[in-house]
Structure 1
């Protein structure tokens, strides 16, 4: 049985905001901003990196990062609950900084990918940050703090295309990785100096066999999903990864039911609040990922091609269109924190409202995406939905899961989000590639694949359906969430303190 060491169930102290807490929050928020913009900035550098190393495997720069993030998440979550969330967060930042340094100095493409794999440890910073905030911040500041931490990621995102373009054009692609390395060191030091360690602990052994089965299963499934479209779904490699991944995940489920102290307690995962939160949040993140992928393709397509969409802007010009979305995400996150913390509005309601608003945003973009002004307005509407959804997720998990299991449970929800987000994006591009390719010669498009206006309409409507499914899952959450209990060394009262020896 797992045993816990805690000072009780109340987070942090009874005080309010202090300068040290503000620095702590800003440091973690900026760290998550670096994580958020790294996808876009590295994507901008893929053409120059591929040309430099003479490779056609540039997609691995993103895939390697995502794979390692999904694989290591459950293990890092468990380690955080057992040994301390701050320790594991700082360790992840350190490994990521080393990975960025290796990428900056990489003499070959293989070494560069190895560096990106190490940088993937940073993905755990999302759930580690808000789990740590839950433990150390005063109770009345937690809702706003976690909301800002998860949605404040739009601040740097506004400037990221300009910064990335300037670094690549002026100093080459390696400058991006130097930037990431320096930023990670600076923010890591700020967190070290301003953020205390959580006193909450879970006494438990690490199920390394379960970790290997779960990590390998997730990795195999994500590889199949990522490369199935290019390899072919009937290709032997695709089928091998997909079937092998499913088998490994099945073995992990069997193991988790038999092991005394599994990596993930399936009893917690099966609980209605946790399971439905994972589903709802996955469609929120999936919708956000879909917009991130589709909108640059729509907006940057030359208007001269007369496809019914496209404004012919470059990567820097796209930043202007992205600005309303980034701003509304931040504002909605702040609103969520204030409504939960001061008005006692249930986060399940805000998540459902946010996903319905996201569905409306998708539907509006599907109907009208050839007007610059309207498209920017509709992106702002979608940003409101994303901001409400993002900031509600940690607040629901904080309400449903005890602090001793916070990082472990959040890491599994994060892994489910990665898989469902990948499946949603894959579904959209499968539909586009099979039915809606624009009949334009490759020499005109310089080898890029363009889709018809009807194709993008269908793609955005798929996003609408996904957001509605997520909203219905959020509405399925119980009105009053009963927190799952954890075993203790006392008479059975889960909130009773247990003294550490």
Structure 2
């Protein structure tokens, strides 16, 4: 969450152990990212090797995309519930098993199954980021998460030349044997070095929500990735889009109703989270266009008028500077975040991306210029990616960091998938003749890709600009604050982090849905917050047992603050909200108390909101609606007197008394 929160909840690790944890997690992320691109250089050869068509061979990339999209939100949610290290070990095991199946099987079906299993491991990146938040000292979190975020781009860039090199000298099975061996070593390293986090959320896993989301993602990503081959207006493509959209339309209201949803849509709709996720899609689109277009541009034959006729290996090696640029600029990104805040970092990253792509439109004359401009694109990507986890973690409850980062990674994948489809469509639609019945992509096709990627980057920076800056301004704060508006820690922290549970109820013990519980230390500094589920249950992560200030609020209820002594993670605390916010008052007729008077509440635009009837003493009460302007109308029981008033409702109870003259609005007969 905030810097103070990150400090309070980080385990006290030594400088050496924090570096080792960071190194192992980042190496794991890089290995996982390698799986995304390591078969791409082999796609032209697989049809001959495996005896399949080129369309069948493309499924070796598609199946990994699909399983990674499905697994990321599921594994991330399970990590919040059952342990982050545990899910990392399971994910890495999937890489090992998938690699062994592919290497030993040696046929297309075995490769397809193996590649599908490898895709499950992509969720290690958001889970690893959450482990860093839990385990590293505050001053290490920004740089570590920046590097971990960059591993997706680093691995994707390095996978192209590495797999080509291994294929040329050792054959294609060696690629999978290497993945299996490295996977086993990383399983041992993670088990030995990375501690299991004590921060876990309680409750049941949302199986139906997971199935619905998986179905929607599979259908939509299939349509996007295969639309060019199937035809964008073909029955199968349209069917996949319809299945995906309809399933999502059913999934959204279900997630809002279910007690413990797969994805907390209310938290995801918060402006910082929503805009960061929008930027993630756009940056993912922009980044992947670089990976896809650069190698193809370099491999184009010289007869195209702009190509350099490089081989697969040489073109892949030209991507190494782009991968290394992401490594070197990860700490630079962290320093930008520390000094100016994650919002500014994301804006800078999007701006650099846009400028780099604009430069790519004009810098096409030499291999060196293409390599340099592609590396600058990677720099912008590294800067933008580094900011996203910090923006997410500062805006969601601590017990939901893995699932929130998982959703962000998923949307990034949606961006890369869309980019792949758009790039393929543009390269095949804008061609120049190269022989009888043959054609090559024109230079304008590449330039249009760069313009489109630049536009996506500008849109990402624009989205980031609307992310709110929160908290007091530095010049007016009583204590130092970060650029995000949260106080800086005095020191790092505690070995006794606990997760406590509670329930928000009304006076009759019935639960209050979707109440927000915020916990602060006794000096008023933020620690964590939680949104109660539909049964009123909430959980909070605290740095240690002790006394904390707890503030609880819910729509339609007066907020309550109280000091609670949390002694252990086993204790459950009940928070009671007793005062319902209302519009209330007394209705009289010519100064006399009257019962049975109808009181209605409508909007100035005509929509009905609520109605009630006065009691024997002339009093009425209506539950407080959302803030805004309303029309409150009283109608006497006899129907011969009525009076309307316009009122402004804010987040506090409102008293409106009526004294209705008998002839205020006499009955009219038409």
Given the two structures, how large is their TM-score scaled by the length of structure 1? Answer: 0.91
Q: Any gaps of 5 or more consecutive residues in structure 2?
A: 471-483, 486-527, 533-537, 541-548, 553-563, 571-670
**1:499 maps to what in 2?**
568
Partner of 1:4: none
Q: Does 1:440 align with 2:434?
A: yes
Task: Please state whether the residue corresponding to 2:569 is helix, strand or coil.
Answer: coil
Structure 2 partner of 1:128: 127
SS in 1 for 2:305: coil
- Alignment RMSD, CA only? 2.4
1:389 and 2:387 matched: no
User: Whole-Å Cα distance in 2 between the matches of residues 339 and 237 of structure 1?
Assistant: 47
Q: 1:429 to 1:499 in 2, by over 3 A?
A: same
Q: CA separation of 1:190/1:366 partners in 2, compared to 1, >3 Å: closer, same or farther? A: same
Give 5+ residue unaligned stretches, structure 1.
1-6
Aligned to 2:455: 465
1:318-357 superposed matches below 5 A: 318-341=315-338, 343=339, 345-357=340-352
Answering whether residue 52 of structure 2 is matched by residue 29 of structure 1, we say no
Post-superposition offset of 1:170: 2.5
Shift of 1:319: 4.0
Alignment of 1:31-430 (within 5 A): 31-56=28-53, 57-152=56-151, 160-303=159-302, 305=303, 307-341=304-338, 343=339, 345-430=340-425
Deviation, 1:127, is 0.3
SS of 1:485's equivalent in the other structure is strand
Distance 1:430 1:46, change over 3 A: closer
Cα distance in 1, alignment partners of residues 387 and 450 from structure 2: 23
Contact 2:292 2:423 in 1 (8 A): no
TM-score of the superposition, structure 2-length normalised? 0.69
Q: Distance in 2 between matches of 1:85 and 1:29?
A: 15
- The question of whether the paired residues in 2 share the 8 Å contact of 1:144 and 1:338 is answered with yes
User: Per the alignment, in what secondary structure is the counterpart of residue 11 of structure 2?
Assistant: coil
Q: Distance in 2 between matches of 1:265 and 1:489?
A: 14
Alpha-carbon offset, residue 201 of structure 1 = 0.9
After TM superposition, the runs of 4+ consecutive aligned structure 1 residues lying more than 6 A away are: 154-158
Cα distance in 2 between the residues matched to 1:430 and 1:497: 58
Higher mean C-alpha displacement, 312-321 vs 392-401: 312-321
Q: Kindly state the Cα deviation for residue 466 of structure 1 after the two structures are TM-superposed.
A: 0.6
Residue in 2 aligned with 1:477?
Answer: 467
Larger Rg: 2
In structure 1, distance between residues paired with 2:415 and 2:153: 23
| Aligned 8 A contact 1:333 1:388 in 2 | yes
| Distance apart, 1:122 and its partner CA | 0.9
Check 1:67–1:496 CA distance in 2 against 1; reply closer, same or farther (3 A cut): farther
Contact 1:13 1:139 in 2 (8 A): no
Where is the strand percentage greater, Structure 1 or Structure 2? 2
What is the count of residue pairs matched by the alignment?
A: 485
